[in-house]
Chain A
């Protein structure tokens, strides 16, 4: 029986191996700074991550849309023939959930006309620049943050037209006005930049960390919150170091080195990664006592505080397989995208698809003849082969979408019910909890349009609720 004993030994090794695999099969050790689920798409950031931000060539004409986020458009404050200066307010918010719009150049208003924008068609103020960049008289530095009241900081943010620069462009002052009964414990800055390709936030944190830190302190002051976090994915070690250095003298600010995983920068996942709190289903970050802002938003706030200049430009990553010279450019709001692409050497081949934002959640545009906005974080080009939507085949119920869903949903069934027009069933499977990160569509081996059909279900469910 000695052979049997050897075999038992061998089997013990095998069991150990299996136990090891069990705990590592999904590679998820639930540390503090991560979430459950998620995917690992190729980073594809190498084209631009080591390229310093360049100032874009001064546009000769800008077309500034009066609507740059969901909600009511601004009312125009200028007319054809008016002379405007840099930083002058040209759009007045028509409601509370709206942000002011300012001129990014000095020059003459040529016309107000409805133009193609990313969101459809919107009224734009077309300004012919005189090239002088004369700054509006109202623009002057504010006193240091320490000597300002919370209310004053709030007015500065509101007056500077600051919006969430991560993508949706939601007006920041709205986020900073939670109802009285909600206590906010944390302000979290989102520097995850988990979208592949994009490096705008990375470069911002690396090159101007002090702005990010000042912006965070301003946000903490407005909300009266003692604790601030800056969450950065751990594939950007240089940005983490740079921010850590800038925040060294502020013990109330903590840098959270996040596990590199998509969608680490999704608001609810970020809050969970940093604080361990879950935003209740159907709720807002404030329901978990947190307010999340993008690092670029914080930098824009810092800019407004130190120079008085409202939000008139932003950093944008221009990259992808069809761009001759991928770049990180600081571009003025209202610059035509065609001009921006020209500054990057133009196309090396005709792209099949152009996406504004990241590849996972960005929006495809049919034309480049549209102006940039406060939320143009990236211009991605895909060649013809990469832009084709793959043909879906039958679902094999592999369950990969269930395993990776960061909202713990079962995308396979929501999608199946949506495609059968059974929207009440899709609702039962919690379709409305979908954050539309696109991880399910990414991972699906059958290339099924999972997110697309879940979006359809969400729209239908909400439309029915409105009717009822």
Chain B
């Protein structure tokens, strides 16, 4: 028998990109901000991060292995990303069961129940945060004061903005490096931007999405606050905007795949964030605005398809 060679459909050449590589890059990009959160909020923050990530990975394994009976994919790091993002969206002072329940909800209900990676229509971490906010509102809005003894709590900078207490506002410098109250991961705007730029450099995200999101929020809040530059500027730096814009509005499966759709998503999320922060009942609007845009994604995609090459202007 003569030597027979493999045949297959072209192309016969593939790039080195992989899902696990992308997810690993996201984890790397989040590490500086995570480290800052642990530095500012102490041991409790570390425990919350570990519990959240551990529960996410364990849930993914359990659901895939014993409930869906499909090959497990914990090696692709996507559960790590979800767990980490959830932890970064929690106050450091939450009791131990909050990150665990949140991660189980994120992975089992939001992700795996809809078919696993790529099929979730909402950002699992944000959906879990919304679920926790509705279930344990007090725990979810008790904020530790940075670099203070355990148990000392205070208002977040966004809360101060909302209550219009100008003399208690943090300095821009503190907001930038993260020496302010808030969730574990949303303290240091600078480190979040750094992580985001790493993802841009690695080709994981398109910088135009966070840039348009942040710019829309900034401009609207600038107008709403009577052209007060400082307030609008602080709005961009504090709260979950940097985290949301760089790491969640750029989530793959719950946002549009085409560029036009992504821009509509970013502007919409910016608009909703500004409206909720300025006129809504909550001080923070990032997570709800992204979730609302998540559910609008199929609709956006339907109407944002680009014209086909040679198909004339549309």
Mask, B162-176, CB within 8 Å of A = 1, is 000000000111001
At the interface, yes or no: A99 with Cβ under 8 Å from chain B?
A: no
Given contacts A281-B310, A366-B5, contact A451 B17 (CB under 8 A): no
Q: Which of A301-309, A310-318, A407-415 contacts B (4 or more CB under 8 A)?
A: A407-415
At the interface, yes or no: A32 with Cβ under 8 Å from chain B?
A: no
At the interface, yes or no: B153 with Cβ under 8 Å from chain A?
A: no
Residues of B within 8 A of A410 (CB): 257-258, 305
Residues of A within 8 A of B22 (CB): 396, 398, 445
The interface size bin for chain A is 35 or more
At the interface, yes or no: B151 with Cβ under 8 Å from chain A?
A: no
At the interface, yes or no: A344 with Cβ under 8 Å from chain B?
A: no
Interface residues of A in 386-427 (CB under 8 A from B): 387-390, 393-400, 402-403, 406-410, 412-413
In whole Å, how far is A331's beta carbon from the nearest beta carbon of chain B?
Answer: 20
At the interface, yes or no: A369 with Cβ under 8 Å from chain B?
A: yes
- The chain A residue sitting closest to B201, CB to CB, is A21
| Cβ B10 vs Cβ A393 within 8 A | no
| Cβ A7 vs Cβ B17 within 8 A | no
Cα(A436)–Cα(B11), bound, Å: 9
User: Which of B10, B233, B308 is in CB contact (< 8 Å) with A407?
Assistant: B308
| Cβ A8 vs Cβ B309 within 8 A | no
Cα(A3)–Cα(B172), bound, Å: 8
| Cβ B9 vs Cβ A451 within 8 A | yes
| Cβ B11 vs Cβ A18 within 8 A | no
Interface residues of A in 234-278 (CB under 8 A from B): 268, 272, 278
Cα(A39)–Cα(B310), bound, Å: 20
- The chain B residue sitting closest to A279, CB to CB, is B310
Residues of B within 8 A of A455 (CB): 9
Cα(A41)–Cα(B7), bound, Å: 21
Count of A-B residue pairs with CB < 8 Å: 191
At the interface, yes or no: B226 with Cβ under 8 Å from chain A?
A: no
| Cβ B5 vs Cβ A353 within 8 A | yes
User: Which of A282, A363, A382, A447 is in CB contact (< 8 Å) with B10?
Assistant: A363
Residues on B close to A: CB < 8 A?
2-15, 17-19, 21-22, 73, 76, 78, 115-119, 171-173, 176, 193, 197, 200, 206-208, 211, 230, 233, 252-253, 256-259, 262, 305-312
Besides A17-B197, A396-B19, A438-B11, 14 more A-B contacts (Cβ < 8 Å) are: A18-B211, A352-B5, A353-B6, A354-B5, A359-B13, A360-B11, A360-B12, A364-B8, A365-B5, A366-B6, A367-B2, A394-B73, A433-B311, A446-B118
Q: List 26 A-B contacts (CB under 8 A).
A: A26-B206, A41-B13, A196-B13, A281-B311, A283-B310, A353-B8, A354-B5, A355-B10, A359-B12, A359-B13, A360-B10, A363-B10, A364-B6, A364-B8, A364-B10, A364-B12, A366-B4, A366-B5, A387-B6, A396-B19, A402-B258, A406-B309, A410-B305, A443-B15, A444-B17, A446-B19
10 tightest A-B CB contacts, nearest first: A438-B11, A399-B257, A359-B13, A445-B17, A452-B9, A364-B7, A281-B310, A353-B6, A407-B309, A7-B172
